[in-house]
Amino acid sequence: MKINKEYKEITNDILNDKNFIKLKDDNHHGSNRYEHCKRVSYLSFLIAKIFKGNTEEAAVSGLLHDFFNGVTNSTDDISYLTHPYTSAINAKKYFNINENEENIIKTHMYHYALVKHAFPFINKREKVNAKDYKPTSKEGYIVCLSDLLVSIYEVGVFKVRYKACLYFIFLINLFNYYGG
């Protein structure tokens, strides 16, 4: 299919890069961060196509928006609010990204910044000025929206499935215990 071929040509180098592949080691929303970034990238690419945005910038920054290793919030540089900056530093270090792509990566947590601005009691340790996370381009809003939609999907599908398995195992053990 023509769209898939175009998407592959844009993203192939990054998807096969040894540093990027390391994201497969990180658990993310019940899946891994490599798959999460791929989903955000592909959805961003499609939305950019529909709304006549820059498909290449949307796909590339979608892929690199969470380009860091480790568990989110485990250290200061990969907290909910700092990981976009860490990802942008890594993206610049390993790939030839342009200024807009850098800004898209840095502002992809605008959805979280808005929620945190409205409800400051969430994660009190970190203060936020939502304006600092406001996307500066159409593609920035697209990646931010895609990240939100994909995250909701992943938490729904993978975590619920994981919990369902745990409950199932628990019930089997319970039946085994009382049954015999």
Tokens of residue 22, six digits: 């390391």
147 binds Fe ion (CB under 5 A): yes
Q: How far is the CB of 13 from Fe ion (least distance, A)?
A: 21
Q: How far is the CB of 18 from Fe ion (least distance, A)?
A: 21
Tokens of residue 30, six digits: 């019940």
Which residue lies nearer to Fe ion by CB, 56 or 66?
66
Q: How far is the CB of 170 from Fe ion (least distance, A)?
A: 31
102 binds Fe ion (CB under 5 A): no
Q: How far is the CB of 101 from Fe ion (least distance, A)?
A: 15
**Which residues within the stretch 36-95 sit at the binding site for Fe ion (CB under 5 A)?**
66
Eight-class DSSP state of 134: -
Q: How far is the CB of 173 from Fe ion (least distance, A)?
A: 35
Q: 119-153 as b/e, with b when 16 or more CB fall inside 10 Å?
A: eeeeeeeeebeeeebebebbbbbbbbbbbbebbee
If one counts every other C-beta atom within 10 angstroms of the C-beta of residue 70, the result is: 14
Maximum Cα–Cα distance for the chain, whole Å? 66
Which residue lies nearer to Fe ion by CB, 74 or 176?
74
Which residue lies nearer to Fe ion by CB, 101 or 147?
147
Residue closest to 91 by CA, chosen among 79, 103, 82:
103
Which residue lies nearer to Fe ion by CB, 38 or 54?
38
Residue type, 73: N
Which residue lies nearer to Fe ion by CB, 58 or 179?
58
- Using DSSP, state whether 169 is helix, strand or coil: helix
154 binds Fe ion (CB under 5 A): no
Give the number of residues in contact with Fe ion, rule: CB under 5 A: 2
